[in-house]
Chains A and B, each alone.
Chain A
Amino acid sequence: MKYSFYPGCSMEATAVPYLKSFEAVAHALGIELKEIPDWNCCGATVASGVIGDYPAQVMTSRNLALAEPHGADIVVPCSSCYMNLAITNRKFKEDGHFRQMADEALASVGMKYGGSLNVRQIIDVMVNDVGLDTIKSKVKKPLTGLRVAGYVGCQTPRVFPWEFDDPEQPVFFDKIIEALGATPVKFPVKARCCGSSHSVAQPEITADSCYNIITSAQDDQAHLIAAVCPMCQLNLDAYQDLVKERHKLKTSMPVLFFTQLMAIAMDLPPDAWALKHNIVSPFTALAKFGVGK
């Protein structure tokens, strides 16, 4: 299995544990990743609000053009990056007017995108390309008894509703958790908003959203939350002190990238777990699986 890989800005910075664990897990699953050479920012949820949708999409399309020569689908872990790349790609395929204009723009810098690739969310790749049976077969240390709240977040299931999952109550993420031997809890808020980039200008909004998510996980007796998106993980993990202070919450809730859980269950070396980067300590929750500092 070969893919072009778009890490996005956060994986190189605040989401290093995601990058480390994903690369190790991908390798163990026989996924070959080739980082898109000289990729640029996708614009996140912000560029469109400053320069407009179309210019932001043209900027994003440079990444598609750079990836095309490799001839492999693009795998994207971050939800905002996925949203921008996938929507832009879809427009190249289905919107003739957009394509004509964007071709013209790309040509002005000597680039071209033929629209031959697919942009794939990491969960989609895990379930539909790798397959749950393969994941199960690679699990050496099943996470039996571990109750996990699978937090899918907002954009991942909603960019193209129903194409690979339910936009409001997605199930694929829970299936991955199950494949690792853990127990996915009900967690009805699994696709609600984490407060996203309000964390900078109005952190109270983020804190309130995260409070709902954390208490829902606690109500379902989860030992930890597993996340897909760098932004969600950062908000839930780094802002947890603020959440606790603001809402008089006493207990903590560890928040891991799901690839960290995969690395543990697949018994990869501790470097691949990358747990030293987690801010809320996950060690008590994971102690019975031989995970120590």
Chain B
Amino acid sequence: MTGFNVSSGPLKYDTEFAREIYSLENGHHIKKCMQCGMCEVSCATRKEMDYSPRKMFLLLRTGQREEFFKSNTMWMCSTCLMCKVRCPRGVPIVDVMHDLKCYAISKGYTERAQAAFYQSFWKEIWSRGKQFEGGLMARYYLKRGWKDIRKDAFRMKDMGLTMLKHGRMPLMPPKSVKGLKDVQKLVEVAKAQLQKGADR
């Protein structure tokens, strides 16, 4: 966390990195931020974040590459939209958070539990067009490995059994979407369109 003990050494602005972030789908909105702090006081998960959205935007503008990759900010966002309705500059903060998650994953920063969760969730959608709780959990623990399974096993088992008892935990996945090929193609085409737009 940044404090008042600022070094007298020159501050290095990595403008290359900042430009890369601006080129993300919603990245240019970051330039509109006026550092008022409204998102900071509104955020549902502020106390879990190492940098508030406001501080994160400052870091990005000054190109603090390493700090960004170390930070948990975007992974803590729960998409509650409070910041988006309150930001006086109209920064779609939550959409920027989406970009930051994508960017971190694309650069291989996937060791956080949340990143594993996001990837598992997406694999589920990709492979059947729908989400299945059982499949999601299986994929998630496969990614997280034995240590996490042991840590969570007891609690998850209890909760899973309770849900099963109340008929809220289907053991069989839902039927795959008939047009699954179309779903996949749509995603591929859309990604290619985005890429083309970014290269232009």
Q: Which residues of A are interface residues toward B (Cβ below 8 A)?
A: 9-10, 12-17, 38-41, 43-55, 57-59, 61-62, 80, 83, 101-102, 104-106, 108-109, 111, 154-155, 158-159, 161, 167-168, 192-193, 195-198, 200-203, 205, 209, 234, 238-239, 241-242, 276-279
Contact = CB atoms under 8 A, between A and B. Distances in A.
B45 A41 contact: no
Nearest to B179: A38
A9 B185 CA distance: 21
A202 B113 contact: yes
Given A49-B102, A51-B191, A154 B79 contact: yes
Interface of B: 25-26, 44-45, 48, 74, 76, 78-82, 84-85, 95, 97-99, 101-102, 105, 112-114, 116-119, 121-122, 125, 129-133, 136-137, 140, 155, 158-159, 162-163, 166-170, 174, 177-180, 182-183, 185-187, 189-191, 193-194
B5 to A, nearest CB: 30
B78 to A, nearest CB: 4
Q: A-side binding surface: helix, strand, loop or mixed? A: helix
Contacts of A44: 121, 131
Nearest to B119: A50
Given A9-B131, A49-B102, A50-B122, A196 B194 contact: no
A155 B163 contact: no
Nearest to B183: A40
A40 B177 contact: yes
Nearest to B159: A238
A109 B185 contact: yes
Contact of A59 (B74, B102, B186): B186
Given A108-B185, A277-B166, A53 B133 contact: no
Contacts of B97: 49
Contacts of A102: 190
Contacts of B79: 45, 80, 83, 154-155, 196
Residue from B78, B84, B158 whose CB has the most chain A CB atoms within 10 Å: B78
B80 A155 contact: yes
Nearest to B121: A46
A9 B179 contact: no
A48 B98 contact: yes
B174 A9 contact: yes
A40 B130 contact: yes
A109 B186 contact: yes
> Which 3 pairs from chain A and chain B are nearest by CB?
A49-B101, A193-B44, A201-B113
Nearest to B72: A202
Contacts of A104: 189, 193
Contacts of A46: 117-118, 121-122
B187 A55 contact: yes
Contacts of A52: 25, 98-99, 102, 191, 194
Given A48-B102, A109-B186, 4 more contacts: A12-B130, A54-B25, A57-B190, A234-B168
A62 B131 contact: no
Contact of A279 (B130, B131, B163): B163
Nearest to B185: A109
Contacts of B78: 45, 154, 193, 195-198, 205
A158 B170 CA distance: 31
B185 to A, nearest CB: 5
B194 A54 contact: yes
Contact of A38 (B132, B170, B178): B178
B168 A13 contact: yes
Given A14-B163, A155-B81, A276-B166, A58 B118 contact: no
A144 B99 CA distance: 48
Nearest to B129: A40
Nearest to B188: A55
A278 B166 contact: yes
B44 A242 contact: no
A242 B25 CA distance: 38
A252 to B, nearest CB: 13
Given A44-B121, A48-B98, A51-B191, A108 B186 contact: yes
